[in-house]
């Protein structure tokens, strides 16, 4: 059930947004993406003639008020982005919230204080959810970043709106983007998986093998696969106890007809330092005292060919230590290939904290089809888990 199914005229919408945004030491918002992402949903409610009661968490106050984590710090930024002055309630339940909600007129927005100032939020407390439910006629969940948490405001509150609950535009787009990769993607489908550890990606890999045609492996987990095949990885990051797991992944992929593309060469360095001496080495012949920190030129040429022939692309994890400029070239190159494939008509989804950070840092966020706003939620979706916040709206 999406937001377009409802007319909000003279209705109060209780909207779960994800305004868990970074603040600097002066309590100014340093990244407004999550606020901007919620704007279309809020504008739809206001243009219908309704009002919006927004609820969110900020940081980890651990169940008690913390002035540093008050959502009051972001009110002006939200007002600027939405283009409407946002009112603020000093609590999310109780008399102060009730008075602010009661006074809210059509076309107005109210932001409630940090939900996590109450321990009942993360506990999924039903009575706390009931109190929140009093503030709206219709419940809208537009917070993909917390959809994997069975909290009061993301899951339990939906019980109090059996016929009047829906996804906001952002959450609907996230679901659609994941479905395009996992269910309806045009073939060939390619997954680019990077990051440090095989162990953190194993569930994703096992779940997507039935959906994809190509699996590109990069980043630190490369070296566990290389070691498993008998290669020398020098001082590269590696999980020696996961070599059997790596071999089993390769066997499963082969059995399912999935082509696995591992690096063949790397940019190796004599220290984990941007200014370290670096050399190109074969991925399975890295010398002692050296460690692979980026994909090599032959590897990138092979990756390029696969990516440009793909029609659906999932990118989760960088292929090198992109935080160091001298070892970011591989991740930038992959970003360019994904952008080029997208221009040529492929659908591309980028998700997971580090890969999202990389595409934003290097300006690829406007050159791919979709950049997910939810790290943990995105990963759990790819693992095949049903997210509580989504199930609560669907009634399953």
Return the C-alpha torsion angle 54, 60, 61, 67, nearest 10.
Answer: -70
Beta-strand pair 12-16/138-141: parallel
Query: 290 and 223 in contact (C-beta within 8 Å)?
Result: no
Largest CA distance in the chain: 70
**What residues act catalytically?**
34, 197, 353, 376
Cite the annotated binding site for ATP by residue number: 201, 292, 323, 352-355
User: How far apart are alpha carbons 87 and 112 in whole angstroms?
Assistant: 9
**β-sheet with 109-111: strand ranges across:** 86-88, 109-111, 51-55, 12-16, 138-141, 165-167
Residue numbers belonging to the annotated binding site for (2R)-3-phosphoglycerate: 34, 116, 149
Exposed/middle/buried for residue 311 (C-beta within 10 Å: 0-12, 13-18, 19+): middle
Are 95 and 84 a contacting pair, CB within 8 Å? no
Count Cβ atoms below 10 Å from residue 343 Cβ, excluding itself: 9
- The total number of residues written for the chain in this structure: 396
Q: Please give the order of strands across the beta sheet that includes 259-261.
A: 259-261, 214-217, 189-193, 312-316, 347-350, 370-371
What is the spatial distance between Cα 65 and Cα 59, in angstroms, rounded to a whole number? 11
Q: 76: Cβ–Cβ under 8 A, 6 or more apart, which residues?
A: none
Beta partners for 140? 15, 166
**Residues of each annotated binding site:** 18-20, 34, 57-60, 116, 149, 201, 292, 323, 352-355
């Amino acid at each position: 059930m999406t937001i377009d199914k409802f007319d909000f005229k003279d209705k109060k919408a209780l909207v779960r947004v994800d305004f868990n945004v970074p603040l600097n030491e002066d309590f100014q918002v340093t990244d407004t993406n999550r606020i901007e992402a919620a704007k279309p949903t809020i504008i739809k409610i206001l243009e219908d003639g309704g009002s919006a009661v927004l609820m969110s968490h900020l940081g980890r106050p651990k169940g008690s008020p913390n002035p540093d984590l008050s959502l009051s710090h972001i009110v002006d930024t939200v007002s600027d982005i939405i283009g409407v002055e946002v009112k603020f309630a000093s609590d999310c339940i109780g008399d102060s919230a009730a008075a602010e909600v009661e006074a809210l007129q059509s076309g107005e927005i109210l932001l409630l204080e940090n939900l996590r100032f109450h321990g009942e939020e993360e506990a999924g407390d039903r009575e706390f959810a009931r109190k929140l439910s009093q503030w709206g006629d219709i419940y809208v969940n537009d917070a993909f970043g917390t959809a994997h948490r069975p909290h009061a405001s993301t899951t339990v509150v939906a019980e109090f709106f059996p016929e009047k609950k829906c996804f906001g535009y952002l959450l609907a787009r996230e679901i659609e983007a994941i479905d395009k990769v996992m269910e309806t993607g045009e073939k060939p489908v390619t997954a680019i998986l990077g990051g440090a550890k095989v162990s953190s990606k194993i569930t994703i890999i096992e779940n997507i093998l039935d959906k994809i045609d190509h699996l590109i492996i990069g980043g630190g987990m490369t070296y566990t696969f290389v070691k498993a095949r008998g290669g020398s990885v020098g001082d590269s990051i590696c999980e020696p106890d996961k070599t059997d797991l790596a071999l089993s992944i390769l066997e499963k992929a082969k059995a399912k007809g999935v082509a696995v593309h591992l690096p063949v060469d790397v940019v190796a360095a004599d220290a984990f330092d941007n200014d370290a001496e670096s050399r190109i080495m074969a991925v399975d012949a890295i010398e002692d005292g050296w460690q692979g920190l980026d994909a090599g030129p032959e590897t990138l040429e092979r990756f390029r060919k696969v990516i440009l022939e793909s029609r659906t692309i999932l990118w989760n994890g960088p292929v090198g230590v992109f935080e160091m400029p001298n070892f970011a070239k591989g991740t930038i190159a992959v970003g360019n290939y994904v952008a080029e494939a997208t221009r040529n008509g492929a659908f591309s989804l980028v998700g997971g904290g580090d890969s999202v950070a990389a595409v934003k840092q290097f300006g690829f966020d406007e050159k791919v089809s979709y950049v997910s706003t939810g790290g943990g939620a995105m990963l759990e979706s790819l693992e095949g888990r049903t997210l509580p916040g989504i199930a609560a709206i669907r009634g399953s």
